[in-house]
Amino acid sequence: MTDANPIFDSGTRLSGSGLACRRGGRRVFEGLNFEVQAGDFLSLTGKNGSGKSTLLRLIAGFLPKKSGTISYSCSGNASDFLVSDDFMLVGHQNGLKPGFTLRENASFYYRLMTGSTPAAKRLQIAADIFALDSLLDEPVQYFSSGQRHRSALMRLPLVARQIWLMDEPTVGLDADNRAALAALIQHHMACGGIVIAATHDPMGVAGNVLDMDQFQPNTGNSDDMDEGWL
Amino acid sequence: MSHPSHAQPSISSVFTALVRRDVTLAWGQGGASLLALGFFLIAVSLFPFGVGPEPQILARIAPGIIWVVALLASVVSLDRLYQADYEDGSLDDLVLSPMGLVGIAGAKVLAHWLSTTLPLAVAAPALAVLLNFPDEGYWVLVGSLLIGTPALSLIGSIGASLTVAVRRGGVLMFLLILPLYVPTLIFGVGAVDAAVMMGDPLPHLALLAATTLIALVVSLAASAAALKLALE
């Protein structure tokens, strides 16, 4: 976070084609294609239940896909499976332990992802971005929900990972922190990072939009029910 | 790797970080370790009230009581093993760490053993005194618990990972796990009984160790598979 020079591989490409996913026998989306490369911002829009979160979890490798392929390549080395080491997910749950202070939570996250202990300065810089510096040594259980959400976002500048998967990152953020998040995303893109965000609000970042509603399967055909999961 | 800016993280330090966090959480506020230890102490001390204070009867059933209650105390503490992380979203973070699901299960089981079931083995001699346990059995009692308690954490991890997404899955976990604890219980109590009755506890201890080793092989892979399903 100290310079704007690209620190990530500029040859990284992530694309999906013909993706389909089912949740509990219901087809969430099908025939979905997307492509992002280093420095891209992709926002996923669509009504509730259109599969925005599902797509993010599919990309992160949590969910199996029904059909289609996700291909990932960096500097010409194509790989069929995704390297989880390059992902960072910010979801609805913030992954914070209430009994720990924010500093302990953030240090643990850093150690978990990198295997080393973060320098105090690094934590301080990451906390400053979302105005959390005064809360660093407070236990997370006394935080408001907005503060918890900002604490969860603090992982983004803390650990260097190229692909950010964000599920409604602006929910519960005030105007100042939305601006801080937009600036952070722009900085990440300038460094060659990739951001895929599911959102209902404009993020204030220029990028491509993937409207999930266009990949809705035709409903009304009861034969669509997948019996395989039963 | 795609970003040359930082070196490949060392898996062992990630593993240690997770073990340390879980041990701290287990002994911290609302943690499971003190509860399990308290359950162990109180449940064992109920037996003299229920069975009566005759020293011979208590001494005869002491190995069984201590082993059964240690087993129950370990199950009591297990239902939050993965569930707490699942609910607050940190399980997602763990999966995206460089460690892999088997490593996560291994770290969490090791932390559970260190923080919860190992203290039971340490506390057992104090409770044995309460039950008029014969002097010649102490070393074997502690030894059998030291060998057998890892199996309690390991086998429990299977149940905890299978019920991670089930609300109020604690009772279901009891039903899944307790039958699997039977071999550990038989060989553990067998070793202590053999020592008390001037027999040879070694064959029992060897079989107990075998049970633990089998649990080590099976349960980490099984837990990882169950966690993968839970994340879907």
Q: Does A145 touch chain B (CB under 8 A)?
A: no
Using a CB-CB cut-off of 8 Å, the residues of chain A touching B25 are 97, 99-100
Mutate to test the interface with A, among B2, B91, B164 (most CBs of A within 10 A): B2
Among all residues of chain B, which has the CA nearest to that of A11? Answer: B2
Q: Do B13 and A116 lie within an 8 Å CB cutoff?
A: yes
Q: Do A115 and B13 lie within an 8 Å CB cutoff?
A: yes
Mutate to test the interface with A, among B80, B93, B108, B228 (most CBs of A within 10 A): B93
Q: What is the pLDDT of residue A206?
A: 80
The residues in B 16-75 lying below 8 A from A, measured between CB atoms, are: 17-18, 21, 24-25, 28-30
* Residue B195 and residue B70 in contact, taking contact as beta carbons nearer than 8 Å: no
Among all residues of chain B, which has the CA nearest to that of A165? Answer: B96
Among all residues of chain A, which has the CA nearest to that of B107? Answer: A112
Residue A159 has phi, psi (to 5 degrees) of -115, 130
Q: pLDDT tens digits for B13-43?
A: 899 999 999 999 998 877 789 999 999 999 9
Using a CB-CB cut-off of 8 Å, the residues of chain B touching A88 are 96
Per-residue confidence of chain A (230 residues) as pLDDT tens digits? 444 455 787 778 888 888 888 887 788 888 888 888 888 899 888 888 888 888 888 888 888 878 888 888 776 555 544 556 678 888 888 888 888 999 999 999 999 888 888 888 888 988 888 888 888 899 998 998 888 889 998 988 888 888 889 988 888 888 888 999 999 999 888 888 889 999 888 877 888 888 888 888 776 554 455 555 55
Q: Angle at the Cα of B162 (from B167 to B189), degrees rounded to 5? A: 110
Q: pLDDT tens digits for B168-220?
A: 878 899 999 999 999 999 999 999 999 998 889 999 999 999 999 999 999 99
Q: Angle at the Cα of A8 (from A91 to A54), degrees rounded to 5? A: 25
Report the pLDDT averaged over residues B45-67.
91
Q: What is the DSSP letter of A62?
A: S
- In angstroms, the CA A158 to CA A1 distance is 8
Q: What is the pLDDT of residue A222?
A: 46
Query: In this structure, are strands A41-45 and A194-198 parallel, antiparallel, or unpaired?
Result: parallel
Q: What is the pLDDT of residue A6?
A: 56
Q: Do B93 and A114 lie within an 8 Å CB cutoff?
A: no
Residue A195's nearest CA partner among A170, A167, A171, A163 is A163
Q: pLDDT tens digits for B82-96?
A: 988 998 888 988 888
Residue B113 has phi, psi (to 5 degrees) of -65, -50
> Which tokens belong to B171?
């009772």
Q: pLDDT tens digits for A2-13?
A: 444 557 877 788
The overall average pLDDT reported for chain B is 90
Q: What is the pLDDT of residue B213?
A: 97
- In angstroms, the CA B162 to CA A71 distance is 31
> Which tokens belong to A139?
């236990």
- In angstroms, the CA B191 to CA B222 distance is 28
Q: How many helices (H) and strands (E) does chain A have?
A: 6, 9
The residues in B 85-114 lying below 8 A from A, measured between CB atoms, are: 87-90, 92-99
The residues in A 35-94 lying below 8 A from B, measured between CB atoms, are: 60-64, 74-75, 83-89, 91-94
Burial of A24 (0-12, 13-18, 19+ CB in 10 A): exposed
- In angstroms, the CA A217 to CA A172 distance is 31
Could you tell me the CA-to-CA distances from A71 to A19, A34, A131, B14 in Å, in that order?
A: 11, 10, 37, 28
Please state which CATH number belongs to domain A13-219.
3.40.50.300
Higher-pLDDT residue of A205 and B147 is B147
Please name the amino acid found at residue B197: M
Query: Looking at CA atoms only, how far is residue B142 from chain A in angstroms?
Result: 33
Query: Looking at CA atoms only, how far is residue A74 from chain B in angstroms?
Result: 6
Q: Does A140 touch chain B (CB under 8 A)?
A: no
> What's the gap between Cα A17 and its chain centre?
19
CB atoms < 10 A from the CB of B24, how many? 17
Q: What is the pLDDT of residue B6?
A: 45
- pLDDT exceeds cutoff 70 at B67: yes
Beta-bridged to residue A211, according to DSSP, are A45
Can you tell me which residue has the tokens 């291909």?
A: A71
